[in-house]
Chain A
Amino acid sequence: MDLSLFSDPVYLLQNLIDGLSRGALYAVYAMGLTLIFGVLDIINLAHAATFMWCAFAGWMAMAVFGLSLPAGLLVSMLAGGCIALMLEYVAFRPLRREGSDRLSTMISSIGVSLIMVSIAEAVFGVETRRFPNTVLSPRPFHLGGENGVSISPAQILILCASVLLMALLGYFIRRTRMGKAIRAIAASQKAARLLGIHVEAVIAVTFVTAGALAGAAGILVGLLTNNIVPDMGGQIQLRGLAVVILGGMGNMEGAVLGGLILGVIETFTIAYMPSGSDVKDAVVFLILFLILFVRPNGIMGRKSADRA
């Protein structure tokens, strides 16, 4: 540990802000992943490819067609919804009809994911795409003078957008009729069907919601790192799965909490350990392991009956 840096409160606060904004991205990404898991009991490994395509959609909207940032965000989320709906029709529904097990559904999602990445490589090439500086200023705001804590416009956007999305999703799932239907299906598809719920339609809505979340995460990551490439999903894929497990499979609040914890741990590992970047994954997954050791169902996890 690099002890001399510990005594610097500005450095600590700075890393907390960076960690929380990094974590907020993981949370937005993982919410979509855990939503699908909560409702259908499947891990959608094509979520990362959806995320990547959305980042490109947002990039096209803003860098090629010159749309504004809110419009770009909307395009990206719409694209996510459409892609996820397509995934449901192509990769998940046919298998569900056949009554396939969870493993084959997962393999199917890996397959679609590979195809989606290959198409992106064919269409966009493998070089990095970047947003023009006019989309979002790179100049940070300073709190407490030049040597104080700084926060970039991208980070502010990420924090605001993620809080808003979490609140909206919470309201949607807890308060609306559709949300209640989603939860009913999560509890039992058979019972929901007997109650007259149009199960297939509700599942489609679930996919669209999850896709829109992937879309939001895609464009926000794109704005934060200014680095959009076809293989950008690889890193967040692993983080997202870790967050879902850490928070409790299928648990929405858990995903948010897990995402923030992971983001802060990762940032602090780099910030306070010598050559922290080389060991960040090891530390992140060691802590994941330790938490699961104490709470096998994740931080907010309950027994599988009561999810979403």
Chain B
Amino acid sequence: MRRSLFLALMTLTGATLGSFATAALPPTIKLGAVESLTGDNASYGIPIRKGIELAVAEINASTMLGKSKIVLTVMDDKADKQEGISVFTKLINEEKVCAIIGPTLSSTAFAADPIAQKAGVPILGTSTTALGITAMGDYIFRDSLPQASVIPGTLSKVIAKHGVKTASMLFESTNEYSKSEADVFKTSLQKLGVNLVASESYSKGDSDFRTQLRKLNARKPDILVFCSLIGEAIPVLQQAREVGIKQPIVGGNGFNNPNVLKNAAEAAEGLIVGSSWFIESTVPKSKQFVAAFNKHYGSDPDQFAAQGYAGAYIIATAIKNAGSAERAAIRNELAKIKNLDTALGTFSFDANRDPLHDSVPLIVQKGKYTLFR
């Protein structure tokens, strides 16, 4: 009781007197991050890690948290549920981190996030988009736009441009992210008056998708929708072109990955994706981020790097406002974040701890993501 009163006081003073509050922060603040750093899905996890590390370096070099420094521990969940559970447990019980950024995949989040929720450790997902991620508990936040806030907007632009009446869809029936995304596409298409003429699936481990693709194409849909993670996204695109699919292809969030462009090459031309961020964004924080990322890593950031970078700043802001590295205090301050300037634009959480901002539809042209108009 006394402790919570103290915390409440701290939070109160923290909110009003920022400079006083930061003085009460411990000299080192332990922050965890869990990302997929090996395997195919490392092409999502590694950019996120780069984004987080860049942000943490900037924060530590600044006076944002007074004299306190963030000590970041990044762990690999290998895109595996069991591994996710074990690294979450380690970060929470042994490293005693104040919050965790991650994990990379929704499927891992469904397995591991309940552990953090139970232990009262705030989680900030920076790439999880499936339905129901934040519904797992009041300690779970994300700065990655959920599928339900990206897909309807993207689809309506595609429909308006191409006069779409029919669509067909391919998804992985053994993955939570892909299944959830397929559900959202299905409802959105229905609402927008598009007839879903065929929906086919594949399972983990499949690598020949020609039969499904031919079946989808046999219905002559106006557009095709693919929900795949990177391992399958590349062969799915290549084989789609091989079986003669020339219609516009709308990819899910898994296709927001420069590796798709690199590996699928010309098969990726014309691919449309809904993104939460675009490299040519004119938002000042975003421009700063792109310049800093290029200087630090010598390459362009992608959407996932931007979400990781913004995620670290969002957590740091909550710590600063809380004036404390206590888990509960950080959670309460995260919930209050409104109109924060980030690389993703002006950022707020809604009542369900999901981000509130617009998505950007992109199209692949000449091997690059460009604005879809």
Q: Do A and B bind each other?
A: yes
Using a CB–CB cutoff of 8 Å, the interface residues on chain A facing chain B are 2, 5, 8, 11, 14-15, 18, 22, 125-128, 130, 133, 138-140, 146, 150, 152, 224-227, 229, 231-232, 234-235, 267, 270-271, 275-278
Q: Is the CB of A275 within 8 A of B205?
A: no
Q: Is the CB of A277 within 8 A of B38?
A: no
Q: Does B215 contact A (CB under 8 A)?
A: yes
Q: Does B42 contact A (CB under 8 A)?
A: yes
Nearest-CB residue, chain A, relative to B202:
A277
- How far is the CB of A29 from the nearest CB of chain B, in Å? 14
Contact check: which of A14, A146, A226, A277 meets B212 at CB < 8 Å? Answer: A277
B residues in contact with A22, CB < 8 Å: 208
Q: Is the CB of A277 within 8 A of B218?
A: no
Residue of A18, A128, A231, A276 with most partner-chain B CB within 10 A: A128
A residues in contact with B207, CB < 8 Å: 225-227, 232
A residues in contact with B285, CB < 8 Å: none
A residues in contact with B205, CB < 8 Å: 231, 234-235
Report if A5-B218 is in contact (Cβ < 8 Å); known contacts: A130-B263, A225-B207.
yes
B residues in contact with A226, CB < 8 Å: 207, 235, 238
Q: Is the CB of B231 within 8 A of A128?
A: yes
Nearest-CB residue, chain A, relative to B267:
A138
A residues in contact with B263, CB < 8 Å: 130
Our count of residue pairs bridging A and B at CB distance below 8 angstroms stands at: 83
Contact check: which of B78, B212, B242 meets A152 at CB < 8 Å? Answer: B242
A residues in contact with B231, CB < 8 Å: 128, 227, 229
A270 to B170, CA, bound (A): 13
Contact check: which of A8, A127, A150, A231 meets B244 at CB < 8 Å? Answer: A150
Interface residues of B in 203-218 (CB under 8 A from A): 203, 205-208, 210-212, 214-215, 218
Q: Is the CB of B201 within 8 A of A11?
A: no
Q: Does B298 contact A (CB under 8 A)?
A: no
Q: Does B173 contact A (CB under 8 A)?
A: yes
Contact check: which of B200, B211, B234, B241 meets A138 at CB < 8 Å? Answer: B241
Using a CB–CB cutoff of 8 Å, the interface residues on chain B facing chain A are 38-40, 42, 78, 173, 199-203, 205-208, 210-212, 214-215, 218, 231, 234-235, 238, 241-244, 263, 265, 267
Contact check: which of B39, B173, B201, B211 meets A127 at CB < 8 Å? Answer: B39
Nearest-CB residue, chain B, relative to A234:
B205
A18 to B214, CA, bound (A): 10
Q: Is the CB of A150 within 8 A of B243?
A: yes
Q: Is the CB of A278 within 8 A of B210?
A: no
A residues in contact with B212, CB < 8 Å: 270, 277
A149 to B78, CA, bound (A): 41
B residues in contact with A15, CB < 8 Å: 211, 214
A11 to B234, CA, bound (A): 25
A residues in contact with B235, CB < 8 Å: 225-227
Question: What 10 pairs between A and B have smallest CB-CB spacing?
Answer: A225-B207, A227-B207, A126-B39, A270-B211, A277-B201, A127-B40, A277-B202, A225-B208, A235-B205, A267-B211
A270 to B211, CA, bound (A): 7
Report if A11-B243 is in contact (Cβ < 8 Å); known contacts: A138-B238, A277-B201.
no
A14 to B218, CA, bound (A): 11
A234 to B203, CA, bound (A): 13
Q: Is the CB of A276 within 8 A of B200?
A: yes
A residues in contact with B200, CB < 8 Å: 270, 275-277
A residues in contact with B173, CB < 8 Å: 275, 277-278
B residues in contact with A267, CB < 8 Å: 211
Q: Is the CB of B39 within 8 A of A125?
A: yes
- Beyond the given pairs A128-B234, A138-B242, 9 more chain A to chain B contacts, judged by CB atoms under 8 angstroms and listed by A's residue number, are A11-B218, A22-B208, A127-B40, A140-B243, A227-B235, A267-B211, A270-B212, A271-B215, A275-B199
A118 to B33, CA, bound (A): 27
Sampled A-B contacts (18; CB under 8 Å): A11-B214, A18-B210, A18-B214, A126-B39, A126-B40, A128-B231, A128-B234, A133-B265, A138-B238, A138-B242, A146-B244, A225-B235, A226-B207, A234-B205, A267-B211, A270-B215, A275-B200, A276-B211
- How far is the CB of B139 from the nearest CB of chain A, in Å? 31
B residues in contact with A270, CB < 8 Å: 200, 211-212, 215
B residues in contact with A278, CB < 8 Å: 173, 201, 203
Q: Is the CB of B218 within 8 A of A126?
A: no
A residues in contact with B215, CB < 8 Å: 2, 5, 270-271, 276
A290 to B332, CA, bound (A): 61
- How far is the CB of A172 from the nearest CB of chain B, in Å? 30
Q: Is the CB of B38 within 8 A of A126?
A: yes
Q: Is the CB of A271 within 8 A of B238?
A: no
A8 to B217, CA, bound (A): 13
B residues in contact with A227, CB < 8 Å: 207, 231, 235
A131 to B324, CA, bound (A): 52
A residues in contact with B78, CB < 8 Å: 126
Q: Is the CB of A277 within 8 A of B203?
A: yes
Q: Is the CB of A224 within 8 A of B208?
A: yes
A residues in contact with B211, CB < 8 Å: 15, 18, 267, 270-271, 276
A15 to B214, CA, bound (A): 9
B residues in contact with A125, CB < 8 Å: 38-39
A128 to B202, CA, bound (A): 17
Q: Is the CB of B201 within 8 A of A275?
A: yes
Nearest-CB residue, chain B, relative to A138:
B242
A277 to B211, CA, bound (A): 9
A2 to B211, CA, bound (A): 14
A140 to B263, CA, bound (A): 19
A residues in contact with B267, CB < 8 Å: 138
- How far is the CB of B182 from the nearest CB of chain A, in Å? 12
